[in-house]
Amino acid sequence: MIDSKPRTLAGALLLGLCALGATSASAAPKYIFYFIGDGMASPQIHATEAYLGALQQDDAEPGGTKSVALHMSQFPVQGMQTSYANDRLITGSAAAGTALACGLKTNIGVIAMDPSATRPYTTLAELAKRKGMKVGIISSVSLDHATPAVFYAHESSRNNYEQIDQALLASDVDYFGGGGLRVNKWKSAQYADLSNAERYTLVREWARARGFQYADDRATFDTLAPGLRTIAINPYLDGSNAIPYALNRKAGNYPGGPYEGSISLAEFTAKGIAVLDNPQGFFMMIEGGKIDWAAHANDARAAIEETLAFDDAIRVAADFGARYPDETLIVVTGDHECGGMTLGFAGTAYDTYFEVLAGQQLAYDDFDDRVFEAYLAQFDTAPPNIDATLWELVSTYFGLDGAKLTETLDDDLSDYELGLLEAAYDKAAHNHSDNVAEADTLLYGGYNPFSVTLTHLLNRRAGIAWTSYSHTAVPVPVLATGAEAWRFGGYYDNTEVARRIAAAMRVELDQ
Ligand SMILES: [Zn+2]
């Protein structure tokens, strides 16, 4: 068509429009923010909004504030995506992330490659670099976890942490921020005798040799220089090298506290803007990784606090976008739902009491490790039943009362609830090795029976229920604002999210 002369005026106009389209490459948004809430779909978003509403006015009262919209929910364009993997309806983070990063389906566990794991897929981050943009990858879990990895690595398995870490260091990504690396998963014999601290020393040396500035404490993080390639790791990491749960950090980030100086996802995002800003613009992927983990554990309050921390990071991008509205595109989505979370429980029927979730002071993992294990450690043989000391802890950390310690009836456990909790305590405290029976799998999902029962009881009282300890296949919202946001309306597949971002960026993903 370009070689042939237009035969009509309409043809000439069409050619002129095509030429306009070609020159509009310069109009691609300069700043792209791609937020992925792992395990976040409508239930996780709306449970958070209903919780905020219940805090403003007790939702047991009719006519109270029922919902407070998050920043992401106020974005003007809304879409919905299907999340299935190439080989399974219910996806996993690697396959879903590959679709979101590359616009192509793959099998469960594969990182940015085809289902046979022979052909690498080109990622949006790689295309952004080719275009001259800078790239940032941020996650609240480890930086080599499936969702961040699909943007810079190509591996047959998400569990190839050693290879993914090498790909991270060899990549031309300009900024990594958030959790650490799963150095404890390295398998080569040469690292066998090294402690995790010694492995991190190696990472730091390799990073500096590759031209990265490296921060893993608050003081260094606060003084990172703009414009330099950067790896920034939270000073506190959990057993999976992720940033500790936002709920735990909220409880422990004070002078002398267990998480003093911890760095939030919002701060990592703000630092990304400072480090990456340049005349060619940037592409930044920010993962809220532990919404998923909290949902796996059926801990609603922890999932809500992770969603709030994720939304805080979105607010940082939205504030930046407000300064450059014609040059900034912000896209928010999830990779899949997790936990089969829903708003409504058989025991509470049409009623909700989300304010009771405020009684929970720690996420399940810190309750397990810092409270319950410390309690059990004082005994050679744990008491046969929940004793007065443990009831005090349950009341303090979950606002539930099975021993009539308090005078409020709404924190008193019913006989049925008491039975469930005593049975769970027995499993947890007396190390029953039969915690593999079908009933136990359904009741506790492999988590500490005591704490998972506490979150179940508290969640049900709020009117929240769970169907699974795994992901589910419900469609996932896509929320967009800024330049080219119009592209994200409609109902489509998760591969389309990446393809629409590529179209906005004027780059071509693989077919
Ligand atoms: Zn996921």
456 annotated binding-site participant:
no
Q: Both 213 and 335 in a single domain?
A: yes
Residue 22 maps to a domain = no
Q: Residues whose CB is under 5 A from ligand 1 (ion)?
A: 38, 93, 292, 335
Q: For residue 241, report the distance from its CA to the centre of ligand 1, in Å.
A: 16
Residue 510 maps to a domain = no
For 79-97, what is the mean pLDDT? 98
Helices (H) and strands (E) in the chain, counts: 19, 14
46 annotated binding-site participant:
no
- Closest to 500 in 3D by CA, of 29, 20, 113: 29
Tens-digit pLDDT profile for residues 303-322: 999 999 999 999 999 999 99
How many domains is the chain built from? 2
Tens-digit pLDDT profile for residues 374-402: 999 999 999 999 999 999 999 999 999 99
Residue 436 is predicted with a pLDDT of 65
Residue 4 maps to a domain = no
Residue 15 maps to a domain = no
Q: Which run of H or of E encompasses 329?
A: strand 328-334
Q: Both 214 and 232 in a single domain?
A: yes
336 annotated binding-site participant:
yes
What is the CB neighbour count within 10 angstroms for residue 410?
A: 14
Q: Both 387 and 433 in a single domain?
A: yes
One of 83, 93, 140, 142 is an active-site residue; which one? Answer: 93
- Determine what percent of the chain is predicted with pLDDT higher than 70: 94
Residue 333 pLDDT greater than 80, yes or no: yes
Q: Both 292 and 357 in a single domain?
A: no
- Closest to 230 in 3D by CA, of 248, 204, 253: 204
145 annotated binding-site participant:
yes
Is residue 247 within 8 A of residue 362, CB to CB? The reply is yes
How big is the chain by its Cα radius of gyration, in Å?
Answer: 24
- Structural domain including 489 reads 28-341+470-505
Q: For residue 124, report the distance from its CA to the centre of ligand 1, in Å.
A: 18
Q: Both 242 and 312 in a single domain?
A: yes
Residue 167 is predicted with a pLDDT of 98
Q: For residue 293, report the distance from its CA to the centre of ligand 1, in Å.
A: 9
DSSP of 358-369: GG--S-HHHIII
Backbone angles phi, psi at 165, to 5 degrees: -65, -40
Confidence class for position 57, pLDDT limits 50, 70, 90: confident
> How far apart are alpha carbons 454 and 403 in whole angstroms?
15
Residue 19 pLDDT greater than 90, yes or no: no
> How far apart are alpha carbons 10 and 14 in whole angstroms?
6
Distances (CA, A) of 1 to 23, 24, 244: 17, 19, 58
What is the CB neighbour count within 10 angstroms for residue 213?
A: 17
Q: In CATH, what number is assigned to the domain containing residue 334?
A: 3.40.720.10
Tens-digit pLDDT profile for residues 151-179: 999 999 999 999 999 999 999 999 999 99
Q: In the block, which residue shows the tokens 């020159």?
A: 23
Confidence class for position 2, pLDDT limits 50, 70, 90: very low
Tens-digit pLDDT profile for residues 133-153: 999 999 999 999 999 999 999
Q: Both 121 and 68 in a single domain?
A: yes
> How far apart are alpha carbons 467 and 329 in whole angstroms?
35
Q: Which run of H or of E encompasses 343?
A: strand 342-343
Q: For residue 39, report the distance from its CA to the centre of ligand 1, in Å.
A: 5
Residue 459 maps to a domain = yes
Residue 60 is predicted with a pLDDT of 73
Q: Output 408 or 25, whichever has higher pLDDT.
A: 408
Residue 367 is predicted with a pLDDT of 98
Contacts of residue 305, Cβ cutoff 8 Å, sequence gap at least 6: 245, 246, 247, 250, 294, 363
Residue 336 pLDDT greater than 50, yes or no: yes
For 344-351, what is the mean pLDDT? 94
For 44-72, what is the mean pLDDT? 89
Whether 264 sits among the annotated catalytic residues: the reply is no
> How far apart are alpha carbons 84 and 97 in whole angstroms?
11
335 annotated binding-site participant:
yes
Q: Both 313 and 441 in a single domain?
A: no
Q: For residue 92, report the distance from its CA to the centre of ligand 1, in Å.
A: 6
- Determine what percent of the chain is predicted with pLDDT higher than 90: 88
For the record, the structure tokens of 321 come out as: 């976008």
> How far apart are alpha carbons 169 and 177 in whole angstroms?
13
Average predicted confidence (pLDDT) for the chain: 93
Q: Both 501 and 375 in a single domain?
A: no
Residue 317 maps to a domain = yes
DSSP of 484-501: TGGGG-EEEEHHHHHHHH
Pairing verdict, β 77-82 and 328-334? unpaired
Q: Both 280 and 380 in a single domain?
A: no
Q: Both 176 and 304 in a single domain?
A: yes
For 400-407, what is the mean pLDDT? 89
Residue 257 maps to a domain = yes
Q: Both 501 and 383 in a single domain?
A: no
Residue 435 pLDDT greater than 70, yes or no: no
Confidence class for position 433, pLDDT limits 50, 70, 90: low
Q: Both 268 and 305 in a single domain?
A: yes
Residue 10 maps to a domain = no
- Closest to 169 in 3D by CA, of 231, 87, 100: 231
> How far apart are alpha carbons 347 and 434 in whole angstroms?
29
